[in-house]
Amino acid sequence: MGRISERASHNLVALTAVRQRGGGCQLWALDKAYTLMGSYQTSPGGNWVRWMDRWNQAPPLRAICAVERGGDYGSTLWGVDLNGKMIATTLQHPSGGWTSWSDVSGAPPNPIALAALNHRNDCCELWAVDSKNALCNTHQTRSGGDWTTWAIWLTSAVKRQ
């Protein structure tokens, strides 16, 4: 497997990755300065391109997660900016470019953690833990389709020690 060699890992605080339709992978990282960096494989199992700072002109972010979307719908990367707003960028088609960052409609305020997955039916699901420790969720109604209204799954999801 290829390597990413020029960036020291000791400043990285968060990672997320997706498998791309062509078989390679895309990797993102946040550093301690909230800078989003990105890299990807040039071929399945192949070499990685150099880290790109401020990947896709991202604002400073404090949380990230990504998912490969179903069918020919590419991938989505979500982030939480320093004001607590959830934003996203989407690779519309596996061979296309990424969209500009946009607000995630109805997202819970001030999320502290994000997670996403693609189900076998190619519908995606997204979770967020908000600043009150409520676990919130939204999901697609069909592959590549609309998203449901955000709902609270569980309150006080994360117990602080």
Does the residue 58 lie in any domain? Answer: yes
Q: Of 68, 83, 31, 75, nearest to 53 (Cα)?
A: 31
Does the residue 96 lie in any domain? Answer: yes
Which of 64-73, 104-113, 132-141 comes out lowest in average pLDDT? 64-73
Q: Does residue 116 surpass a pLDDT of 70?
A: yes
Does the residue 3 lie in any domain? Answer: no
Strands ordered across the beta sheet of 61-68 = 61-68, 75-81, 86-91, 102-103
Other CB atoms closer than 10 Å to residue 22's CB: what's the count? 13
- Per residue in 15-53, pLDDT tens? 999 987 777 889 999 999 999 999 988 888 889 998 898
Residue 103 is which amino acid? D
* Phi, psi for 112 (deg, rounded to 5): -110, -15
Beta-sheet strands, E only, within the chain: 12-19, 25-31, 36-40, 52-53, 61-68, 75-81, 86-91, 102-103, 113-118, 124-129, 135-139, 151-154
Domain harbouring 150, CATH code? 2.120.10.70
Percent of all residues in the chain with a pLDDT value above 70, rounded to a whole number: 86
Does the residue 161 lie in any domain? Answer: no
Encoding tokens for residue 11?
């400043």
Answer whether 85's CB lies under 8 Å from 58's CB.
no
pLDDT of residue 1: 44
Domain with 40, as residue range(s), is 12-154
* Domain count along the chain: 1
pLDDT of residue 92: 76
* CA separation for the pair 76, 57 (Å, rounded): 15
Does the residue 125 lie in any domain? Answer: yes
* Phi, psi for 93 (deg, rounded to 5): -140, 150
Q: Report the largest interatomic distance among the alpha carbons of the chain, rounded to a whole angstrom.
A: 46
Does the residue 2 lie in any domain? Answer: no
Burial class (CB in 10 A: 0-12, 13-18, 19+), 108: buried
